[in-house]
Amino acid sequence: MTLGVVIVGAGGHAKVCIELLRAMNKPVAFCIGAEGSESSCLGVSVLQGDAHLEELRRAGYASAFIAVGSNALRQRLGALAKGLGYELVNAISPTAAVSPTARLGCGIAIMAGAVVNADTCIGDLVIVNTSASIDHDGRIGEAAHVAPHCGLAGNVTLGPRVFLGIGCKLIPGVSIGADVVAGAGSVIISDIPDQSRIAGIPAKNLQKKDKDK
């Protein structure tokens, strides 16, 4: 008998990922939530505290999915799970369109209506959210999050832990550095350095604006 997937997370993002896994016919065994979490998440029992991750591994559970919205926390918990010997599974909606030439890491969520086109490389623990599109030859770094309705043109690169807010648009060939946060609706037409906070049409560096005041 194959034991089910252990979900790390018990909030809204976990609910979506539980439904993705169920649509892939992957049973979910438990969720692991923070102290004070609800006792159940979409009918899945919730265990409180990260210590349960090690306990379940010792009990024979071998597959996990990190369903946490925070990029840095998702990356940390993914490393913890892999260190304990878990395989990080992917959660991919049957309604997503993923090119057969796309290269996918582990622990990835690709939501309903998303498109991942030819020769794109998706790093571990990435979220490609509802109806987002990544065109050909994209490079998406580990634990990045492409929010709903974002549109990335061809040859776009995102560094690790980038967060693109809802509806961001990126022109061909732009490169976004690590830990960049882009506000909803941003239109990105040039390369962005690491750790920038940007927004607008075209997107501008908000930190520079603050310094100018």
**pLDDT score recorded for residue 36:** 87
Q: For 38, left (φ over 0), alpha (ψ -120 to 50), or beta?
A: beta
H helix or E strand, kind and range, residue 76: helix 71-83
Structure tokens at 140: 């998406």
Instruction: Say whether pLDDT at 47 is over 60.
Output: yes
Tell me the domain boundaries of the chain.
Answer: 5-89, 91-213
pLDDT of residue 207: 78
The predicted model scores a pTM of 0.94
- The proportion of the chain whose per-residue pLDDT surpasses 90, expressed as a percent, equals 93
Average pLDDT of the chain, as a whole number: 95
| pLDDT for 130 | 98
172-198: average pLDDT: 98
**CB burial class (10 A; 0-12, 13-18, 19+) of residue 192?**
buried
Query: Quick one: tokens of 63?
Result: 């597959």
The hierarchical CATH code for the domain 91-213 is 2.160.10.10
Cite the active site residues: 136
Q: Mean per-residue pLDDT for 158-166? A: 98
pLDDT tops 90 at residue 5: yes
Q: How confident is the model at residue 208 (pLDDT cuts 50, 70, 90)?
A: low
Instruction: Tell me the C-alpha to C-alpha distance, in Å, between residue 44 and each of 19, 81, 98, 118, 161.
Output: 11, 19, 28, 36, 28
Question: Is the pLDDT reported for residue 2 higher than 90?
Answer: no
What is the fold of 5-89? Rossmann fold (3.40.50)
Query: Confidence class of residue 136 from pLDDT cuts 50, 70 and 90?
Result: very high
Which pLDDT value is given to residue 86? 97
SS3 category, 70: coil
Higher pLDDT, 97 or 1: 97
**The pLDDT of residue 3:** 86
